[in-house]
């Protein structure tokens, strides 16, 4: 972008959108508006009100730096350090998966499934919590619930804890570092997860915004994309409360495989409700229930990791 000093807000916006459009960036106008607001430290409404005012040299320099990052295909949410999810703004950084609108389907499925129980003290478990967006959203929507978020990445857990504090649910949330369900004890009414599900060989071909900027560990689902589901299914029955449920996000072509993995693990699936579609009509969430038999019993107890706000 040419030197933006001396430009009005309107001209800076037009030039930024033009540069992004020429580079093949999707939604150049929206990105330009967000970057301009961030550079100027103003709201969208304020930049419009000052459309013919001078942007100023300092803001212009910041804008040029932001544009350079976007041209490197860094997502706007990572540049801003915030991503909106289910109507709330979540902190994101290089250690966390960038929350996607598709994952809101999991939230909807969980809330519909628990309709009528919003004032009950449900115990939630979020596996691979990342930013904490799933757990924190559910806690915000279920004011009597408490929850535990796990992640193998301690830096991600720091972000999740900060988000819980910012969004007012910190007293009902705790976060521990562990590998899926290893070391988790207790019983939970609802287990949720958006695990890595991209086959390893396919990650490099994803959009640059994803392949270059999302943590590899949050994308890589192993050779067939199903490694995490196998790990989760193998132990979920041990920590699901009676009548508890588990909901996992899936890739749009993985429904049959994940349903079979859950079946093999003894988790109960309702054929009419086992899979939920997202707003684009793609299969997005698999839902299962606690085992109705003793298949998950008889294993050695696990050592609890950390103290959960759900503890008795």
Q: Residue 75: is it exposed, middle or buried by C-beta count within 10 angstroms (0-12/13-18/19+)?
A: buried
Task: Label each residue of 219-250 as H, E or C.
Answer: CECCCCCCHHHHHHHHHHHHHEEEEEEEEEEC
pLDDT mean over 282-296? 79
What distance in Å separates the CA atoms of residue 235 and residue 304, rounded to the nearest whole number? Answer: 14
Q: What pLDDT does 2 receive?
A: 44
pLDDT beyond 60 at 305? no
Rounded Cα distance between 178 and 38, Å, is: 36
CATH fold for domain 82-289: Rossmann fold (3.40.50)
In which band, very low, low, confident or very high, does the pLDDT at 306 lie, cut at 50, 70 and 90?
Answer: very low
What is the pLDDT, as a whole number, of residue 205? 94
Q: Give this prediction's pTM.
A: 0.88
Answer yes or no: is pLDDT of 304 > 60: no
Nearest to 158 by CA among 92, 70, 98, 59: 92
- pLDDT at position 273 is 76
Give me the pLDDT at residue 132, please: 97
pLDDT digits (tens, 9 = 90+) for 142-169: 999 999 999 999 999 999 999 999 999 9
Please choose, from the candidates 122, 117, 247, 275, the residue with its C-alpha nearest in 3D space to the C-alpha of residue 191.
247
Q: How far is CA 23 from its chain centroid?
A: 28
pLDDT of residue 84: 95
Q: Compute the distance between CA of residue 169 and CA of residue 173 in angstroms, rounded to an integer.
A: 6
Which distant-in-sequence residues (6+ apart) come within 8 Å of 138 by Cβ?
Answer: 107, 110, 111, 124, 126, 145, 147, 190, 192
Buried b (16+ CB within 10 A) or exposed e, 28-61: beebbbbbbbbbbebeeeebeeeeeeebbeebbe
Task: Give me the residue spans of the domains in the chain.
Answer: 9-72, 82-289
pLDDT of residue 1: 45
Name the nearest CA neighbour of 210 among 99, 125, 107. 99
Q: Six-digit token pair at 136? A: 């924190």
Terminal-to-terminal C-alpha distance of the chain: 59
Mean pLDDT, residues 227-243 taken together: 94
């Amino acid at each position: 972008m040419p030197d933006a000093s001396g430009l009005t807000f309107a001209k800076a916006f037009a030039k930024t959108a033009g540069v992004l459009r020429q580079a093949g960036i999707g939604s150049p106008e929206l990105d330009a508006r967000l970057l301009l607001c961030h550079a100027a430290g103003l709201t969208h409404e304020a930049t419009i009100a000052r459309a013919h005012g001078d942007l100023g040299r300092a803001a212009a320099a910041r804008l040029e730096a932001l544009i350079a990052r976007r041209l490197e295909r860094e997502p706007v949410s990572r540049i801003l350090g915030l991503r909106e999810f289910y109507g709330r703004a979540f902190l994101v950084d290089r250690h966390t998966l960038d929350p996607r609108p598709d994952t809101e389907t999991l939230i909807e499925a969980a809330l519909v499934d628990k309709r009528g129980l919003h004032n009950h003290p449900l115990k939630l478990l979020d596996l691979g919590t990342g930013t904490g967006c799933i757990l924190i959203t559910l806690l915000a929507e279920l004011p009597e619930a408490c929850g535990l978020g796990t992640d193998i990445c301690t830096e991600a857990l720091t972000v999740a804890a900060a988000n819980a504090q910012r969004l007012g649910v910190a007293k009902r949330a705790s976060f521990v570092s562990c590998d899926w369900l290893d070391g988790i004890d207790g019983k939970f009414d609802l287990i949720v997860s958006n695990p890595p599900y991209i086959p390893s060989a396919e990650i490099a071909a994803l959009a640059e915004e994803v392949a270059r900027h999302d943590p590899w560990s949050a994308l890589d689902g192993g050779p067939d994309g199903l490694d995490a589901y196998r790990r989760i299914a193998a132990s979920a029955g041990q920590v699901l409360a009676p009548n508890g449920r588990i909901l996992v996000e899936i890739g749009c072509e993985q429904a049959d495989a994940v349903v079979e993995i859950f079946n093999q693990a003894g988790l109960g699936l309702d054929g009419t409700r086992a899979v939920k579609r997202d707003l684009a009509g793609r299969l997005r969430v698999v839902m299962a229930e606690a085992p109705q038999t003793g298949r998950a019993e008889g294993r050695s107890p696990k050592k609890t990791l950390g103290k959960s706000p759900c503890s008795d």
